[in-house]
Chain A
Amino acid sequence: MTTKPEMMASEIASAVAGGKMSALDATEAALARIKQHDTVLNAFTDVTAERARAKARAIDADIAAGKKAGALAGVPFAVKNLFDVAGLSTRAGSKINRDLAPAKRDAALIERMEAAGAVLVGALNMGEYAYDFTGENVHDGPSRNPHDTTRMSGGSSGGSGSAVGGALVPIALGSDTNGSIRVPSSFCGIFGLKPTYGRLSRARSFPFVASLDHLGPFARSVADLALAYDVMQGPDADDAACTTRGLEPTLPLLANPVSDLRIAVAGGHFQKNVFPEAVEAVSRVAKALGATKVIDVPEASRARAAAYVITTTEGASLHLDRLRKRPNDFDPAVRDRLIAGAMVPAPLVDRAQKFRRWYRAQLAEIFRSVDVLLAPATPCTAPKLGQVNFNLDGVELPVRANIGIHTQPISFIGLPVVAVPVPLEPLPIGVQIICAPWREDIALRVAHALEKMGVVAAPAPRGF
């Protein structure tokens, strides 16, 4: 069986487990595609080819010896470069971290993916220290959008979006503090899962904002997303926020009907500051699901403001010593944001955290009467690289500050979200499927139903 770039992870795992394809062939195909296309996409900062080949050979040997193949047998994957990869310095998109000693042990989620048979092929480009929505990086250059390489991949997990959207790998891992999984998913036309806060272990990944950081997968199908998510679940004492809940597999539930679910469109803040393509995308998804009800999410704009304040101050605290010692080695834009963050008075941060509890209670009340909320993932399709402003209804707005306005009020209280790609022309755009805490199963089930209906899909890359 020959490999094809558009093969999904589930197809590769099935072929490898069935002896129709070797893990080494699947790995070599991914490495060849990276070599061929990454000079344009710039998604990878490290390619771990020899490690990947060794892992693939070990999987093939196990299968030949009659051992049971893992759920992700032979599936190539890559990780945002804030995940520890044994032998590499965890750069987190920065210049400064390149001086760190190489990591001694892989991040917890890499270990779990590889325990299921997946094969790590490299580390991915990202915005410096994850403080970014564009996918641009002053040190490594921008990761590029696979549907139009003059455009942003989205950030901060830009390389993850670019690599999966460009079909270099079927699965990538990234992080989401304010939208950094959902924004690249939207711009690159792929599926992304930001799980409930505390669901997946962040052990041995470089932090940004401890009380907002999440890790999660990207894929080109919902089944692949669920497959990766399921193998990564489970408690981990090495992450203080990681839940002690037992495993809650989602893959077996994907095909369950969605007709019994109460689905509404998020109104108010989520219907403001949007371009026509975002309105069209939400409308298509809502129509397909028969969702006619609109629910105003109270104080979502204020929630976004509070998330901003917590982010800039916790981020400043994390980097305070680096700001003192190596200010000129930061991306100047990141440095100036962080210095300003260090200057926000403490009572205002405390109030933001208190507001967070109030807002969480409002959303909990909403989820008593609905199971799913729909909202745009981004206000627009991918802007041009370097674009500073966009014009909305005659008003010039800064691009960077507005890309995450619809994702921030959701991650602020840790709700699980699947970003689904609506394949509009000329560029795709994402919609957030938002659920109550710990109900990733419902978000994935709705995403799967939309995929079956043909309403959402990851378009084939055509920008390179």
Chain B
Amino acid sequence: MAEPLDDYIDAVSKALALPLEEAWRPAVRANLEVSLRLARLVDEFALPDETEPAPVFTA
């Protein structure tokens, strides 16, 4: 049975022209699940609209 993320993984790998062998899929999916879980944790945190990114740290 297809996993919920599989359609998304197929679509993005095609959009980015990334190879994805079937043998890699379970590990890619597991890693993506972790990344999305952690990203959700950040997403849930409300920030003011005015907040700007801090890609480069300066004191």
Contacts and interface: CB of A to CB of B under 8 A. Distances in A.
Interface of A: 196-198, 211, 241, 299, 301-302, 305-306, 308-309, 312, 320, 323-324, 327, 332-333, 335-337, 339-345, 348-358, 360, 401, 413-414, 437-438
Given A301-B41, A356-B53, 4 more contacts: A302-B45, A305-B42, A336-B31, A354-B51
Contacts of A339: 13, 18, 20, 24, 28, 31
Contacts of A343: 8-9, 12-13, 16, 28, 32, 35
A305 B57 contact: no
A340 B58 contact: no
A80 B4 CA distance: 41
A112 to B, nearest CB: 22
Contacts of A353: 53-55
A340 B35 contact: yes
B16 A352 contact: no
B32 A340 contact: yes
Contacts of B19: 323-324, 327
Contacts, number: 122
Contacts of B31: 312, 336-337, 339-341
B42 A352 contact: yes
Interface string B4-46: 0000110011001111110010011101101110111111010
B43 to A, nearest CB: 6
Interface of B: 8-9, 12-13, 16-21, 24, 27-29, 31-32, 34-36, 38-43, 45, 47, 51-59
A336 B18 CA distance: 11
Contact of A351 (B20, B47, B55): B47
Contacts of A349: 39
Contact of A302 (B12, B41, B56, B58): B41
Nearest to A308: B38
Contact of A354 (B24, B27, B29, B53): B53
B41 A324 contact: no
**A contact patch SS:** helix
A131 B40 CA distance: 22
Given A309-B35, A340-B35, A343-B9, A351 B42 contact: yes
B57 to A, nearest CB: 4
Nearest to A310: B55
A336 B28 contact: yes
B24 A306 contact: no
A356 B39 contact: no
30 contacts: A196-B57, A211-B57, A241-B56, A302-B45, A305-B39, A305-B42, A306-B42, A308-B35, A312-B35, A337-B31, A339-B18, A339-B24, A340-B29, A343-B8, A344-B32, A344-B39, A348-B36, A350-B53, A351-B39, A352-B39, A353-B53, A353-B55, A354-B53, A354-B54, A355-B42, A355-B47, A356-B55, A360-B54, A413-B57, A414-B57
A306 B51 CA distance: 15
A197 B27 CA distance: 32
